[in-house]
Chain A
């Protein structure tokens, strides 16, 4: 555990996700048939692209970056769950990974039995588990429920137990993925204390988290991953600050996020060349505030003059639920003529959507529905709000309270109009 070379060494690591079959679970046929069928949709995606770094024993390292930047892939490579496509990953010493607290708990068997299995899964021997058992249980605070099946535990209890087992597995290297986001304040505090203890003992800690203050405080060093590459590597506070600046700059000028837009069908007699979301000032935006005016705009072209055409938009949640769909035919507009290029704008005086990410489909088609150009998921945008709301609709609203109901001074949303 003393300084004898790096605890972690990652050299020029590339990780490409590829699938054997065409679909997530390929069929034998797709694997046995040569070329055409098999290669059709295997677009390799490089989750990590030439990542190198070393971490000394006793170092605490934070890994930050946007979703999809490769953080979790990196952690899984360090854990040995995945293998690099190219490059080398070497770790020295016993490694424990806290990728999901309570992974592997079986609901039907008792906490006691689960501790044993989880310990074995972490690479402890039966004897080591027995020796630490009391401490694990005490730390998790589940003494009274030890012989109850885990399905009777609250999620907080299960998480505490999962954490406690891993934190007491005496690892030389501990990998932690976003696990402190769960559990209550008091437990998070104890968990942090335990991390500090481990660090004092010269263990190496690697955190992946979106909790930037946590990384800045807890880690000495941070690595910022951006689309599979190391964007910056240095003192945690400094890297976190740079990452924050980058994110803030990106938010302001982010153009409408082009969706994957993979699905596109139609005869092409007419086609959509651009789709934009406009904010209150008529500027393209990828992020809008709930309740403000917005407009959807598409630029369309007719390859030949048309007398049968319908323009439409459809708004979908990322989970696939339709929020609303409108088109010129439903509005009662009867087509007469469309030739050349045109700009079609649907204005919404108030975007009454709950905060979240939405996906837009745009289409031009014949009145009988035959598509000229139907573009699914052509753009994605985010609706933000100071007030959280469940669902998709966030209408203008007021609350009224009659009777003996009081609220603390100065609390409540600005939208309580």
Chain B
């Protein structure tokens, strides 16, 4: 049955609208400020400076990953994408309720646009990360390698996973008010059980299989590998990420498709 894929087919047909909605979000967010769109770059830059300062003067950085602030930066940026996109997705149908009730638009464009807007933010922040890596490389603290070229594919799989989850989260939170809070709390928990603050190597050997149960763990380990350690992603990790992506897309698509008809009534 192709039913779970139907929303993605429609998204492809409506891609111009998804793009326009996402850019509207970004434009509306940054318009008016004196620095405007630069904030999308300044924010991550300031975050990096805060890390660099805090782990130099306040907290002791982890000794196993150096420089720790650079290590942390990549993971935190990617996590901001995941958690921001899912939390936006939980609100998106409600905040676009008038449009759902008054226009003939295909509802899935809203969570998709929310994910895309967050993804664009991430891509801009990654420019800052790239610059930071270049500086670190020039000072000899990291030695970038070709494994970094695998990162775009990791990110593509992660974005697709988030899209699938966003469809499910968005749909369910229209019907059940609790979902928003549940998602918020799960994300807080997930932040700590995902290798962001620490490398996978820091997790005791016998717990590592358990880490796989967290759908995000493998993605973030792959992000650390490609953007910090510059090690190629293992075949097992590729397989696991692809499987996760497939399950998220199909599951999210199925949940959305089953409850779609009542969105306009409930949102």
Contact = CB atoms under 8 A, between A and B. Distances in A.
B264 A81 contact: yes
Interface in A286-336: none
A26 B175 CA distance: 6
B177 A27 contact: yes
Nearest to A100: B102
Interface in A64-120: 76, 79-83, 95-97, 99-100, 103-104, 106, 108-109, 113, 116-117, 120
A117 B104 contact: no
Given A19-B266, A83-B261, A149-B31, A123 B104 contact: yes
A25 B20 contact: no
A119 to B, nearest CB: 9
A29 B264 CA distance: 22
Nearest to B99: A104
A20 B175 contact: yes
A232 interface: no
Nearest to B182: A28
A135 B28 CA distance: 26
Given A20-B266, A26-B177, A125 B28 contact: no
A121 B105 contact: yes
B192 interface: no
Interface residues of A, number: 37
Contacts of B21: 117
Contacts of A21: 175-176
A109 B103 CA distance: 20
Contacts of A19: 265-266
Interface in A6-38: 17, 19-21, 24-29, 31
A126 interface: yes
Nearest to A101: B102
Nearest to A24: B266
A126 B16 contact: yes
A79 B20 contact: no
A97 B262 contact: no
B264 A120 contact: no
B179 interface: yes
Contacts of B262: 20
B101 interface: yes
Interface string B129-142: 00000000000000
A121 B28 contact: no
B11 to A, nearest CB: 13
Interface residues of B, number: 30
A28 B178 CA distance: 6
B264 A82 contact: yes
Nearest to B105: A121
A256 interface: no
B176 A31 contact: yes
Interface in B90-142: 98-105
Contact of A97 (B27, B102, B182, B265): B102
Most B Cβ at <10 Å: residue of A27, A97, A104, A126: A104
A76 B264 contact: yes
A122 interface: yes
B255 interface: no
Interface in A394-414: none
B62 interface: no
Contacts of B27: 108-109, 113
Interface string A40-66: 000000000000000000000000000
Contacts of A106: 24, 28
B32 interface: yes
A117 B178 CA distance: 31
Interface string A210-248: 000000000000000000000000000000000000000
B265 A100 contact: no
A122 B176 contact: no
A81 B16 contact: no
A120 B20 contact: yes
A103 B104 CA distance: 11
Nearest to A83: B261
Contacts of B40: none
A100 B98 contact: yes
A375 to B, nearest CB: 31
B103 A81 contact: yes
A121 B98 contact: no
B17 interface: yes
A206 B179 CA distance: 39
A210 B174 CA distance: 32
A25 B161 CA distance: 27
A103 B103 CA distance: 7
8 contacts: A25-B266, A28-B176, A28-B179, A79-B104, A96-B104, A97-B103, A99-B101, A104-B98
Given A104-B99, A121-B103, 16 more contacts: A20-B262, A24-B266, A26-B176, A31-B175, A81-B100, A96-B104, A97-B103, A99-B102, A104-B103, A108-B28, A108-B32, A109-B28, A116-B20, A117-B20, A121-B17, A126-B16
10 smallest beta-carbon distances between A and B, as pairs: A108-B28, A103-B102, A120-B17, A100-B102, A25-B177, A99-B102, A28-B176, A83-B261, A28-B178, A104-B99
